[in-house]
Homo-oligomer: A and B are copies of this chain.
Amino acid sequence: MEKPAKPGQQVLVALRRMIADGTIKPGDRIAEIPTAEALGVSRMPVRTALRALEHEGLVVKLGARGYTPRTMDAAAIAGAIEVRGVLEGLAARRVADRGLTLAEAADLEAILAEGDALFAKGHLVDSDLDGFYRYNIAFHDLLIVASGNPSIALALGRNNHLPFASAAALALDWDDLEGEYHHLLKAHDEHRAVFAAIRAGDADQAEQLMRDHAAVAIANRRAFRMLDAER
C-alpha cells in the first residue's frame, strides 16, 4: 500500500521543498493561480497550503498580492533555534521533575543504545548518517512527549518546519565523515548527559544541557536535510 498521496498534502510538501531548496526565493511572489497550474491541481489545495505555511511562519502575506517566502537570515535562524532550545529545555526540565516511568526509561535507554551502536565502530559510514537522523528525532520527540505538556509540541510545531531550526534538520557534511563523527558523537554525548541529569532528577541541569545542546546547532552547520514527512 503505497501512499495514495492526497493532493493537499502533496502541495504542502511540494511548496515546503521549493522554499527550502531555494526554487522559490524570498521576494518571489507566490500567487495561487500560477502555482496551482504548475502543480497541476486546482487553486483550492494551494490556498489551503499557503494558509498553513503562513501559520508555520514559512511565508508571509504580501498584501492582497499573494505570499512570499519569509526571509531567513542567520539571525532569524539562530532565533528559531534558540526558541527550540528553550522549549526542549522546558521539556527536559519537566521530565526530570516528574521522573521517568519505567516504560519511558526503557524506551529512552533503547534509543540511546541505538546511538551507541552507531559510534561503536569508531567511524561512520554513509548509512549511519541516516541512522543518526532517525535516532536524533526519536530522542527529541520522546522527551517532548514524555514532558506531558502538549503545549510544548504545539509551540514547537511552527519552528520545526523552519529550515535549520528543527531537530530533524541536521548539520551534516556528507563529504567529511571524519569531521562529522566527532560532531555527532558530541551530540550523542550530550543526549547521554541530559538522560543522566533526568535520572538524577536534576531539573536545572537537564534544562541547561538541553539548551546548550540546541545552541551548538547554531554554530556548526554547512548543509542540512529537511524533514519531508508529516507527523
Contact = CB atoms under 8 A, between A and B. Distances in A.
A165 B151 CA distance: 10
Interface in A130-168: 148-152, 154-159, 162, 165
B155 A159 contact: yes
Interface stretch (A50-58, A113-121, A190-198): A50-58
Given A55-B55, A158-B158, A82 B48 contact: no
A149 B86 contact: no
A150 B51 contact: no
A127 to B, nearest CB: 33
Query: Chain copies in the assembly?
Result: 2
A80 interface: yes
A87 interface: yes
A95 to B, nearest CB: 13
A154 B149 contact: no
A151 B82 contact: yes
Interface in A67-95: 75-76, 79-80, 82-83, 86-87, 89-90
Interface string A155-183: 11111001001000000000000000000
A150 B86 contact: no
A89 B150 CA distance: 19
A98 to B, nearest CB: 11
Given A48-B51, A86-B87, A86-B90, A57 B149 contact: no
B55 A151 contact: no
A210 to B, nearest CB: 12
A152 B86 CA distance: 10
A109 B75 CA distance: 28
Going nearest first, the 8 A-B pairs with the smallest beta carbon separation are A79-B149, A55-B55, A80-B151, A83-B151, A155-B155, A79-B151, A57-B154, A86-B90
24 contacts: A48-B51, A57-B150, A57-B151, A57-B154, A76-B150, A76-B151, A79-B148, A79-B149, A82-B90, A82-B149, A83-B149, A83-B151, A83-B152, A86-B87, A86-B89, A86-B90, A87-B87, A87-B155, A151-B162, A154-B158, A155-B155, A155-B156, A157-B158, A158-B158
